Homo-oligomer: A and B are copies of this chain.
Amino acid sequence: MKRNIKLTIEYDGTDFVGWQRQPNGRTVQEELEKAVATVTREQSSVTGAGRTDSGVHARGQVANFITTNGISTTELQRSLNGLLPHDIAVHSVEEAEEGFSARYSAICRHYRYFIATRPTALERNFTWELGYAMDVDKMNHAAFSIMGIHDFQAFCKAESEVEHHLCNVMESCWQQTDRHMIYSVRANRFLHGMVRALVGTMVNIGRGYTPIEDFQTILESRQRSKAGQAAPSKGLFLERVTY
């Protein structure tokens, strides 16, 4: 009998070239497929909800695969955590319905981006360290303006092959703590490099490099060259995927 298995996964993206299997470099997908093959004795393709880039982390990535092996979900989780390298951890293993796809069934993805506002040693692989002052109100003015359905081509890597660039943004806001600026964003889908391009552009606004009035112009231009440089991948976390 075919079973559809849903995994919830945490990983430290530092030493990966990203989620997606590729000819050169260590990927999360490949490590998972190797571990799944060892446990189930079947070659399965593991599909992820978000194909995170090199260096991007995940606290709640979701993936699924098909197997005919009858192993219990508890035993499967234990075996995978025993086999996987230390920078990947499986938080849960569940039975999913036949038609479930971690990628296509997802209705919302939640990312957060962490900026450290003072020098840090412990979080050096998990934050973008920025020494200059930023105006969080201006950054939130830009962040709030992308709520709802918009064309995000200006914040999408040029080489991406997608049918359209419309995303429905359900949350977009900056929060300031004593040591961090945190950008939290939820949408039905994200384009390639979108969160990092948004963060890079909004940081330019926060530090006064880009006037706040230009943000709308950048968004409407649909040209990646108008937006700011991508923020470093190490500050980005895929927090959660909703179905």
3 nearest CB pairs, A to B? A89-B119, A89-B121, A10-B121
Q: Are B86 and A122 in contact (CB under 8 A)?
A: no
A contact residues, range: 10 to 19
Give residues 68-93 of A contacting B (CB, 8 Å).
81, 86-91
- When all copies of this chain in the complex are counted, the total is 2
Q: Are B121 and A87 in contact (CB under 8 A)?
A: yes
> A10 → chain B, closest Cβ, in Å?
5
Contact string against B for A residues 200-214, beta-carbon threshold 8 Å, 1 for contact and 0 otherwise: 000000000000000
**Residues in A lying within 8 Å of B, measured CB to CB:** 10-12, 57, 59, 81, 86-91, 118-122, 124, 126
Q: How far is the CA of A148 from the CA of B204 in the complex (A)?
A: 52
Q: Are B122 and A12 in contact (CB under 8 A)?
A: yes
Q: Which residues of B contact A11 (CB under 8 A)?
A: 121-122
Q: How far is the CA of A91 from the CA of B179 in the complex (A)?
A: 11
Q: How far is the CA of A87 from the CA of B90 in the complex (A)?
A: 28
Q: Which residues of B contact A12 (CB under 8 A)?
A: 121-122, 124
Q: Which residues of B contact A120 (CB under 8 A)?
A: 10, 89
Q: How far is the CA of A124 from the CA of B125 in the complex (A)?
A: 13
